[in-house]
A and B are shown apart, each in its own frame.
Chain A
Amino acid sequence: MAPARYVGELIFSLARYLGDLALLAAETIRGIFHGQVRPRLVVQQIYEVGFRSQLVVLITGAFTGAVFATQTYFQFHRLQMDTAVGPVVSVSMFRELGPVLCGLMVAGRVGAAMSAEIGTMKVTEQLDALRALAVHPVDYLVIPRFLAMLVSMPLLVAECIGVGILAAYLLTTQVLGVSEAYYLHNMLHFTGGRDVAMGLIKGMVFGVVIVFVSCHQGLVAREGAVGVGRATTEAVVNGSLCILVVNFFLTMTLNIFFPAGK
């Protein structure tokens, strides 16, 4: 009986959590349709979440591309398929590695900051002060972050993919001695707009996931500093897990519209 009860409670709390996220998303959309967009805050958030995340994302992309190219080369070299490294790295970076790794890094950097900031505001009554001043906390805090992520995430993912492919190209052609012309030809031949679209759509969806998970953790934070710490940890863990789970379903769905290969 005990395991069944445990599973039941787990399912119930998961359903409630997803319901809370859906309500937050609905309130955000409602706020946008009510014209509660503050352009100054959106620009400020684009700077915070987009511009300032670039270094983390570029390093992630570059080293992922480089190490993936190296491992692929070691395997393909035995089969005399050296020039196939280009398309494998390129397609993988566009369709999976770029958006997922960029999403995980942003969930760590930006998600933690969002939940900590909003959580601190919650436990120090600043959210109540906003409400008392007739300002909806979702309008003031969540909408600018949501819009900033919609703009920033695809660009960050594009940067991550771009720098990953560049690092792989340089390593494979300049260090491992693969022909530049064949590498580029094969890469461009097997990589198409469908791969680019998949990467950017995934990036945008992951951005939305990060915003709602992190802001929700901040908005429900309790019990002072301990509560804010817990909210921050949960924002990063839940955000990362959600990205991995959502990625699976997105891959299956998007593959219908943007099938891999020609």
Chain B
Amino acid sequence: MTEHAHPREIIAVENLVQTIGGQEILRGFSLKVYEGETLVLLGRSGGGKSVFLRHLIGLMQPVSGTVKVDNRSISGLRERELADVRRGMGMLFQNGALFDSMSVADNVAFPLRERGETNEAIVTSKVAEALQMVDLHGHQAKMPVNLSGGMRKRVALARALINQPRCMLYDEPTAGLDPIVADSIDVLIRRLQRKLGVTSIVVTHDMKSTFAIADHVALLHEGRCYFYGTCDQLRASTDPVIRDFVEGRSHEQP
């Protein structure tokens, strides 16, 4: 563990419990995320990774436990009270969640306009800059329905980044993408961390991506944090649950 090397906790989750449809998805999950780091949360499909991520930005409220952002508990806050916390964060949804009635440019410009930017010249230039960053310059006029899965995700990333959040939450950023686009997303996450000091929490089960971007890795298993450490500690682990996950073994016979 290298917590002491880090300056400050930006997110602290303690004993998070969440139940969906009568099933306990999170059973006392605890985790800390430090400013400026990239933390990758691993776990099996349907294990509650996305549910966990949604708690960090107040999209879900825990059954019990606390979520603190910048030392302020956001559990139990009302929707309007969460706005301040959310303004400092960005979230990339699994399928992009682009507004399908708006063009690419309007989607990316949405957060700017919502925060009161009325100068269209500034909006246009910032949108172009954000789209350039995700390698989609020139696609401003397209509608989301005409974009591929990878392009949708990159537009969603540009939208989440345009207001320069201090903390980014990524829900399966490379799932369903070809290896080259997936690598470009990894590079982008890394670049954001290095250039802008953005804290990133990435939910994935892509091991290649994990080793490319993670400062710390956490493994969610049976609703709890089963492992927390660096990539080297993950590689070196001999725990059978961790080895199965890292090496992708199901133990089923053909």
Which residues of chain A have a CB within 8 Å of any CB of chain B?
34, 117, 120-121, 124-126, 128-129, 131-136
The answer on a CB contact under 8 Å between A134 and B83 is yes
The answer on a CB contact under 8 Å between A136 and B80 is yes
Interface CB pairs A-B, < 8 A, 11: A125-B93, A126-B98, A128-B54, A128-B93, A131-B82, A132-B57, A132-B59, A132-B86, A132-B160, A134-B86, A136-B80
Q: Report A-chain residues with C-beta under 8 Å of the C-beta of B84.
A: 134
Q: Report B-chain residues with C-beta under 8 Å of the C-beta of A136.
A: 79-80, 83
Q: Report B-chain residues with C-beta under 8 Å of the C-beta of A132.
A: 57, 59, 86, 89-91, 93, 160
Known A-B contacts A131-B79, A133-B86, A134-B86; A125 and B97 likewise in contact (beta carbons under 8 Å): yes
Q: Report B-chain residues with C-beta under 8 Å of the C-beta of A133.
A: 86, 110-111, 114, 159
Q: How large is the interface on B (under 10, 10 to 19, 20 to 34, 35 or more residues)?
A: 20 to 34
The answer on a CB contact under 8 Å between A128 and B59 is yes
State in angstroms the CA–CA spacing of A133 and B88 once bound together: 9
Instruction: Kindly provide the distance from the CB of B200 to the nearest chain A CB, expressed in whole angstroms.
Output: 15
State in angstroms the CA–CA spacing of A98 and B160 once bound together: 48
The answer on a CB contact under 8 Å between B97 and A129 is yes
Q: Report B-chain residues with C-beta under 8 Å of the C-beta of A120.
A: 100
Q: Report A-chain residues with C-beta under 8 Å of the C-beta of B97.
A: 124-126, 128-129
Residue B95, interface by CB 8 Å: yes
Q: Report A-chain residues with C-beta under 8 Å of the C-beta of B156.
A: 129
State in angstroms the CA–CA spacing of A14 and B161 once bound together: 44
State in angstroms the CA–CA spacing of A8 and B100 once bound together: 42
Instruction: Kindly provide the distance from the CB of B182 to the nearest chain A CB, expressed in whole angstroms.
Output: 21
State in angstroms the CA–CA spacing of A121 and B94 once bound together: 15
Q: Report B-chain residues with C-beta under 8 Å of the C-beta of A34.
A: 80
Q: Report A-chain residues with C-beta under 8 Å of the C-beta of B99.
A: 121, 126, 129
Q: Report A-chain residues with C-beta under 8 Å of the C-beta of B95.
A: 124-125
Instruction: Kindly provide the distance from the CB of A147 to the nearest chain B CB, expressed in whole angstroms.
Output: 18
Residue B166, interface by CB 8 Å: no
Residue B68, interface by CB 8 Å: no
The answer on a CB contact under 8 Å between B100 and A131 is no
State in angstroms the CA–CA spacing of A129 and B89 once bound together: 12
Which B59-94 residues have a C-beta within 8 angstroms of A?
59, 79-80, 82-84, 86-87, 89-91, 93-94
State in angstroms the CA–CA spacing of A120 and B99 once bound together: 10
Task: Give the 5 A-B CB pairs with smallest separation, nearest first.
Answer: A129-B97, A125-B97, A134-B86, A132-B91, A134-B83
Instruction: Kindly provide the distance from the CB of B107 to the nearest chain A CB, expressed in whole angstroms.
Output: 9
- Given A34-B80, A126-B99, A132-B59, 10 more A-B residue pairs with CB atoms under 8 Å apart are A121-B99, A124-B97, A125-B93, A125-B95, A126-B97, A128-B59, A129-B91, A134-B86, A136-B79, A136-B83
**Which residue on A lies nearest to B86, using beta carbons?**
A134
Q: Report A-chain residues with C-beta under 8 Å of the C-beta of B83.
A: 134, 136
Q: Report B-chain residues with C-beta under 8 Å of the C-beta of A129.
A: 91, 93, 97-99, 156
Q: Report A-chain residues with C-beta under 8 Å of the C-beta of B94.
A: 125
Q: A121, A124, A133, A136: which has the most chain B beta carbons within 10 Å?
A: A133
The answer on a CB contact under 8 Å between B86 and A131 is yes
B89-123 interface code vs A (CB 8 A; 1 in, 0 out): 11101110111110000000011001000000000
State in angstroms the CA–CA spacing of A133 and B89 once bound together: 8
State in angstroms the CA–CA spacing of A34 and B83 once bound together: 13
State in angstroms the CA–CA spacing of A135 and B80 once bound together: 9
**Which residue on A lies nearest to B80, using beta carbons?**
A136
Instruction: Kindly provide the distance from the CB of B141 to the nearest chain A CB, expressed in whole angstroms.
Output: 19
Q: A120, A121, A126, A136: which has the most chain B beta carbons within 10 Å?
A: A126
State in angstroms the CA–CA spacing of A34 and B82 once bound together: 15
State in angstroms the CA–CA spacing of A117 and B100 once bound together: 10
Q: A34, A120, A132, A136: which has the most chain B beta carbons within 10 Å?
A: A132
Q: Report A-chain residues with C-beta under 8 Å of the C-beta of B114.
A: 133-135
Instruction: Kindly provide the distance from the CB of A162 to the nearest chain B CB, expressed in whole angstroms.
Output: 33
Instruction: Kindly provide the distance from the CB of A58 to the nearest chain B CB, expressed in whole angstroms.
Output: 27
**Which residue on A lies nearest to B169, using beta carbons?**
A132
State in angstroms the CA–CA spacing of A128 and B59 once bound together: 7
Known A-B contacts A129-B93, A132-B91, A133-B114; A124 and B79 likewise in contact (beta carbons under 8 Å): no
State in angstroms the CA–CA spacing of A62 and B59 once bound together: 49
